[in-house]
Structure 1
Amino acid sequence: MTHTSIHTQNSSSVTLTDNHGRTVDYLRVSITDRCNLRCMYCWSADGMQFIPHSNIITYEEIARLIDISVAMGVRKVRLTGGEPFARRNFLDLVEMLLTKHPDLDVRLTTNATLMNGKAKALAELGVRYVNISLDTFNRLKFQRITGRDMLRNVTRAIDDCLEHGLGVKINTVALKGINDDELPVFINFAKNNPVDVRFIEFMPMGSSSAWSESNFWSADEILSDAKKLAVLTKLEKKERRSGPAKLFGIEGGKGRLGLITPMSNHFCASCNRLRITANGQLRTCLFSDNEIDLRTMLRNPSITDTDIANVIHESNISKPLGIELLNAKRQNEVAETRMNAIGG
């Protein structure tokens, strides 16, 4: 069989360092664009179209990409969506990955509405951390934001994760005029539970997002208000583990407060991640719509793992600084692709 090689390098010898000196060791994989919620900041239900099933990468293709990525230095993989638990037999993929790579740091991002009874299985498979999206503790507001009355499912899942020893990070999109009045509730939750409550600045992502300047609640505003509610201590990087969140300890509390600031104080200079979309496209930057088609390569029997590794390598070399794209397009949606297909 003839192979069309781009270089002669073995995949394990290909590094993931770009022209800005940043090295990738973290891969985010959207396993589906399907989601059972209809969050206002992601998309509306009007005219919604899913990626055709035949174009969604299979679990085997995901596993192959992760094999290639691990050989290139990736040590952390986040499985996201859409909603990962909306895809059938999702735990089979988790098991597949951790059986092959027991030392790989596999994490999930989920809305937790479909997690009933699954925390124990995740812990047994070797998952240690779960990120749970939750923008309000008010049932009616939850329904308004997500289009579904499923808040109780989420709070049960958080309790279940903590009971089985999973680290929990609560991801909260900061929405002025919508959930800014609940800051005391979130601070109190972090005081009473060993979780990171992380407010994420609302980004203008996707053509049907509800983003506007009027509902942008900045991290500076959040921190200023939070300091009126609790004594906060900024944690140094070594104390907060890796990641873009600026974390603060809460005096007398079990958990921590986090701020993720893609709009007001970007972290592009230290970005260590790549993204694979649900239809098998490589995105080197969240804010860029430039995609590299890996799915077609995966389905071509003449393409080797080394070929794919070299394409990933070459694409990463020119990985942009997202802040430049953000500044250039600030008046419009930064990326046309909906967040459910990118994986956040």
Structure 2
Amino acid sequence: MQDRYGHRISYLRVSITDRCNERCTYCMPQELQEWLPREEILTFEETLCLIRIAAELGVSKVRVTGGEPLTRRDVVHFIAQIPAISGIKSLGLSTNGTLLARQITPSKTMAMTLRDAGVQSVNISLDTLDRDVYSKITGRDLHAQVLEGINAAIAVGFDQIKLNTVLMRGRNEDQLIPLIEFAASRNLILRFIEMMPVSTTEVLSED
């Protein structure tokens, strides 16, 4: 499968929910906090059908995202079926990290069950190491849970763990060096991602 410029398309991002347990100002401003009706969201079987079709057309890499994908019920069972699809060689997950350390069984965290299900890489959102700033950005006091989630991901040995950081003027630009040091000390990849302006949010410009 190719795009109109002749580039081969091998990567598919699958958003399985628009719901999230956080309210980050840069993706969910107060005035936009409305969910899709559940009947408009594809079932897992419908989503798996689309992935199979994409795989037949040459897609080999899949990343599950949201919203926060781990808030959807039976998500691990769904994820576990993706590696079995012929042609799929790489499976990743994008998450805010707040649920990765949650105990699914007395002996297994969510991170462990995801690794067992075939997830090879995880992208975790982390915009600051400051708890108060984190709460202001996300609208939730879940900073400790994210750090626990990162540690849980490290413990299970995903092939790659990447931290995604959105820089915002006057809010977290002072976190640049601390986040670099945090990631480097744990052998994590750190990516400063470009923010798509949404309503009243602020973007850190190139200057």
For normalisation by structure 1, the TM-score amounts to: 0.55
Match of 2:180 in 1: 187
Q: CA deviation at 1:19?
A: 2.3
Task: Please tell me whether the aligned partners of residues 112 and 132 of structure 1 are also in contact (alpha carbons under 8 angstroms).
Answer: yes
**1:16-42 superposed Cα distances (whole Å, 9 cap, x missing partner):** 212212221101111000011110100
Match of 1:28 in 2: 13
Match of 1:210 in 2: 201
Does 2:143 correspond to 1:151?
A: yes
**1:193-246 superposed Cα distances (whole Å, 9 cap, x missing partner):** 110011112222x4x3513xxx4243xx6xxxxxxxxxxxxxxxxxxxxxxxxx
CA distance 1:203–1:164, shift in 2 (3 Å): same
Q: CA deviation at 1:101?
A: 4.2
CA distance in 1, matches of 2:182, 2:126: 12
Match of 2:92 in 1: 107
Q: Which amino acid aligns with 1:179?
A: N
Match of 2:34 in 1: 49
CA distance in 1, matches of 2:86, 2:141: 38
CA distance 1:209–1:107, shift in 2 (3 Å): farther
Number of corresponding residues: 199
Task: Please tell me whether the aligned partners of residues 167 and 204 of structure 2 are also in contact (alpha carbons under 8 angstroms).
Answer: yes
Q: CA deviation at 1:103?
A: 4.6
Match of 1:200 in 2: 193
Q: CA deviation at 1:100?
A: 3.3
Match of 2:105 in 1: none
Q: CA deviation at 1:178?
A: 1.1
Task: Please tell me whether the aligned partners of residues 58 and 87 of structure 2 are also in contact (alpha carbons under 8 angstroms).
Answer: no
Q: Give the number of the structure with larger relative contact order, counting CA–CA contacts within 8 Å between residues 6 or more apart.
A: 1
Structure 1: tracts of 5 or more residues without a match:
1-15, 222-344
CA distance in 2, matches of 1:181, 1:217: 15
**Percentage of identical aligned residues:** 40
Q: CA deviation at 1:153?
A: 0.6
Structure 2: tracts of 5 or more residues without a match:
103-108
Match of 1:80 in 2: 65
Larger radius of gyration, structure 1 or 2?
A: 1
Task: Please tell me whether the aligned partners of residues 10 and 58 of structure 2 are also in contact (alpha carbons under 8 angstroms).
Answer: yes
Q: Which amino acid aligns with 1:33?
A: D
Q: Secondary structure at the match of 1:46?
A: helix
For normalisation by structure 2, the TM-score amounts to: 0.90
Q: Secondary structure at the match of 1:66?
A: helix
Task: Please tell me whether the aligned partners of residues 172 and 198 of structure 1 are also in contact (alpha carbons under 8 angstroms).
Answer: yes
Q: CA deviation at 1:48?
A: 2.2
Match of 1:125 in 2: 117
